[in-house]
Amino acid sequence: MRSETTPETALETDTPTASSGSPDDPSVFALPPALARKSAPALIAADDAHLAAVRARLAEEIVALDERLVALRAARARLGQEALDRDLDIHRSTSRLQLLRRFGVDLCLGRMVVAGTGTEPAETVYIGRIGLSDAEGGRLLVDWRAPAAEPFFAATHADPAGLVSRRRYRWSTGPGNARRITDYWDEVFDPAAYAEAGLDAAAALDDQSAFIASLGASRSPRMRDVLGTIQSDQDAIIRASSRDALVVDGGPGTGKTVVALHRAAYLMHAEQRLSHGGILFVGPHRPYLAYVEDVLPSLGEDSVRVCTLADLAPEGRDGDRMPEEADPLARSLKSGARLLDAVTAAVRYHEHAPAERLLVETPWRDVIVEPQAWAEAFDAPAPGTAHNDARDEVWDALVGGLVEEYADEDVPPRHLDRALRQSTALQRAFVAAWPVLDPAGVVADLWSTPAYLRICAPWLDEQERAALRRGAGDGVDPRDWTRQDLPLLDAARALIGDPAAARRRRRQEAVTAEEREYRERVLDELLAADDDKESAVTGFFFGDDSAGVREMLLDEDALPRLDPDALAGPFAHVIIDEAQELSDAEWAMLLRRVPSHSLTIVGDRAQARHGFGETWSERLARVGIRRIEQASLRINYRTPEEVMTEAEPVIRAALPDANVPVSVRSSGIPVRHAAVAERDELLATWLAAHEEGIACVIGDDRPYADAQGAIDPRVRLRTPVTAKGLEFDLVVLVAPGRFGEGVEGAVDRYVSMTRATQELVILR
């Protein structure tokens, strides 16, 4: 499908021919003069009436939600499940209220006419971002994620999916920030049924679809969701099952990111099993996250966690400024999975059961700690328990075993237990045998202590160990982390546990013990003060059913709260955008968080900077993912034909089998070539001619300022890496030859060129 586009500004600056929504004329249609024929009452009256009912119902629901939230917040809830239920109710009500206020009547995406069956007539169904019913329970909007809404997105002329017709709305912001329909696009799949239903006079068919027109719209600082124009190939991927790994391969502009974000919102609604672990969405860099941050809330979803890969490790939370490993050999070693085994060995190195007997003196008798006692204690933790978490279990098992062996009538178990735990000799031996570890310290020791690295990674040769070495002698701090260190730090944290969490847990246990001791003292005093040992007081606190009563006296507010890392997982499903860039070590970092391997893997092999010579199946099998489904997106909805014609030879020269998508539109603006010195003049001319839209300079980090010296917020400065996943009206590509040769240089040039939605200028 190819079509020339009308500039978006022509639709928004013309005087509307329909009402702009005044109280005297509440029509939601505000069509420009160029579309006057679409304003006929026969075409829009039914929609106006239905959307008026939607608007009225929304107003009622907003009032009701406001009142409900006031009541919920004022109500006193008991502890436990009742308090949890109230908090969840407040969260759900607040989220829905925010969505209703954010959108209003433009929650409606469009409508479809479903073919009748037998004596049943055709039915008109309106599709919304959320479901909405009237006061009597009648259906006003069907949630886009519901099975009943699927034909609206899936229908094609080859497979109408039971539809007679479909109408998509195009909403724009008018005076007073009112949202109005400035265009709509009708498709008829069954002309005979359409005429039979008496609808033939209520169609506005043209070759300028709302979808194609929206592709030429000026870009904003943040991605706008395109829910109303999702195409059938994209919808099939959005609604695919999450049971196994799904690979979505697509070239630039095919809507991979759109599909990934809409899939996250769809799965959270459609698959209840995912609500327990939730969904993690991983993007390539922080500018990308800033660009897409509005999409999920606009789809009615606020529970998906969104982050970059670097965010998964605390050391990488400022990851966009974290350097790459400079040495190619070190980068290659840290990107592979083998060094993760060295981290495992480094942790196990610190779990060393003593091989000699230990004498521990107590007030009652000497206790001999045999090597077997240590070995049995070391086996106490369940497999997979983190080192620091297992430490307390090992200690308790060691002391418990000794108490069981040595306690008798002359040595009460409680007293012996206390004596052993307070023994300096036993404590020192235990600290040496199972010390508290710091994940970052373990990894830093690998790089700074050659003998330690040799023990933990005996397969490395001298050259490889030298490439990894960092220390005072090299003038480098071993904790000057690079992006390639993050998977190793994450592996160490998973094996060791969070030291801060371990400290919090021990503090919590200490406070709990103090609270229980205080409780027992109070109860003892109550019992001593009660002369009647058969009284209700004694029975209440000391009877057979008193355990629960005693626990109620524990002051939970006095206990320190554990604060687990929200990104540690496990998650029920993980979605990764730009997945072609992930190293084996980074894949391990992700798979640690989704043991089920329920994944959506979105990427383009042709955009892998370091090459991607395998198939997706081969690549994923190597990291342990074997059950996969694959889908391919081959239609370029974003990049104009003029740009793709110039970009395709760039990537084909390096990757002949690249999945280069076919553009569906032409901007009419040829790719321009100019000198680097013309950069600012070009930007100034473009900004003056375009009141809206975003320009991006790639390959030149000099800030752009206007004639008065002010930095223009509509001009972005990006590298090929930080431009990935983004799109701009104008791309000014500066000296692309400096990106280098080979696959990496070709990919950087290809990615940079295909960010443009309107115009590309190459400066040499």
Residues 165 and 314 in one domain: no
Question: Binding site for ATP: residue ranges?
Answer: 250-257
Residues 194 and 257 in one domain: no
Contact 237/629 with Cβ under 8 angstroms?
no
- d(Cα 4, Cα 9) in Å, to the nearest integer? 15
DSSP type of residue 271: -
Residue 546 lies in a domain: no
- d(Cα 241, Cα 231) in Å, to the nearest integer? 18
pLDDT confidence band for 6 (50 / 70 / 90): very low
Domains in the chain: how many in total? 4
The reply to whether omega before 297 is within 30° of 0 (cis) is no
What is the length of the chain?
Answer: 764
Contact 492/345 with Cβ under 8 angstroms?
no
pLDDT confidence band for 275 (50 / 70 / 90): confident
Task: For residue 542, give every residue at least 6 positions away whose Cβ sits within 8 Å of its Cβ, in sequence order, or none.
Answer: 523, 527
pLDDT confidence band for 104 (50 / 70 / 90): confident
- d(Cα 45, Cα 27) in Å, to the nearest integer? 9
Residues 168 and 208 in one domain: yes
pLDDT confidence band for 745 (50 / 70 / 90): very high
Residues 70 and 160 in one domain: yes
Which of 94-98, 425-429, 673-677 is least confident? 94-98
Residues 139 and 272 in one domain: no
- d(Cα 420, Cα 476) in Å, to the nearest integer? 44
Q: What percentage of the chain exceeds 90 in pLDDT?
A: 55
The three-point CA angle 396-400-403 to 5° equals: 145
Residue 382 lies in a domain: yes
Residue 222 lies in a domain: no
Residues 581 and 671 in one domain: no
Residue 738: per-residue pLDDT? 94
Residues 300 and 361 in one domain: no
- d(Cα 231, Cα 251) in Å, to the nearest integer? 16
Which of 7-11, 24-28, 56-60, 476-480 is least confident? 7-11
> Which of these three, 156, 184, 216, is where a domain ends?
216
Alpha-carbon torsion, ordered 394, 400, 401, 404, to 10 deg: 180
- d(Cα 218, Cα 220) in Å, to the nearest integer? 7
Whether residue 107 is predicted with pLDDT greater than 50 in this model: the reply is: yes
Q: Which residue has the higher pLDDT, 420 or 520?
A: 420
Residue 502: per-residue pLDDT? 59
Whether residue 99 is predicted with pLDDT greater than 50 in this model: the reply is: yes
Task: For residue 509, give every residue at least 6 positions away whose Cβ sits within 8 Å of its Cβ, in sequence order, or none.
Answer: none
Mean pLDDT in the chain? 84
Residue 552 lies in a domain: no
Residue 364: per-residue pLDDT? 84
Dihedral angle sign, alpha carbons of residues 216, 218, 221, 225 = negative
> Which of these three, 436, 460, 488, is where a domain ends?
436
Residues 456 and 482 in one domain: yes
Residues 598-626, mean pLDDT to the nearest whole number: 93
Residue 458 lies in a domain: yes
Residues 250 and 334 in one domain: yes
Q: Which residue has the higher pLDDT, 173 or 459?
A: 459
Count Cβ atoms below 10 Å from residue 516 Cβ, excluding itself. Answer: 14
Token reading at 262: 């809409």
Give the model confidence (pLDDT) of 351-387 as tens digits: 999 999 999 888 888 889 999 999 999 999 999 899 9
Residues 588-592, mean pLDDT to the nearest whole number: 96
Question: E-assigned strands of 699-746?
Answer: 715-718, 728-734
Whether residue 211 is predicted with pLDDT greater than 70 in this model: the reply is: no
* Dihedrals phi, psi of 50, to nearest 5 degrees: -65, -45
Residues 263 and 302 in one domain: yes
> In this structure, which amino acid lies at residue 759?
E
- d(Cα 385, Cα 524) in Å, to the nearest integer? 38
What's this model's pTM, rounded to 2 decimal places?
0.81
Alpha-carbon torsion, ordered 740, 584, 307, 259, to 10 deg: 80
Give the model confidence (pLDDT) of 394-411 as tens digits: 999 999 999 998 887 777
- d(Cα 342, Cα 459) in Å, to the nearest integer? 10
Range of the domain at 75: 33-216
Which of 483-492, 518-527, 631-640 is least confident? 518-527
Residue 53 lies in a domain: yes
Whether residue 546 is predicted with pLDDT greater than 50 in this model: the reply is: no
Whether residue 18 is predicted with pLDDT greater than 50 in this model: the reply is: no
Whether residue 281 is predicted with pLDDT greater than 70 in this model: the reply is: yes
pLDDT confidence band for 140 (50 / 70 / 90): very high
> Which of these three, 436, 463, 480, is where a domain ends?
436
> In this structure, which amino acid lies at residue 561?
R
Of the candidates 250, 269, 251, 258, which has an alpha carbon nearest to the alpha carbon of residue 231? 258
Residue 23 lies in a domain: no
Residue 27 lies in a domain: no
Residues 425 and 443 in one domain: no
CATH of the domain at 655: 3.40.50.300
Residues 613 and 487 in one domain: yes
Question: Binding site: residue ranges?
Answer: 250-257
Residue 439: per-residue pLDDT? 95
Whether residue 455 is predicted with pLDDT greater than 60 in this model: the reply is: yes
Tokens 């620091």 correspond to 388
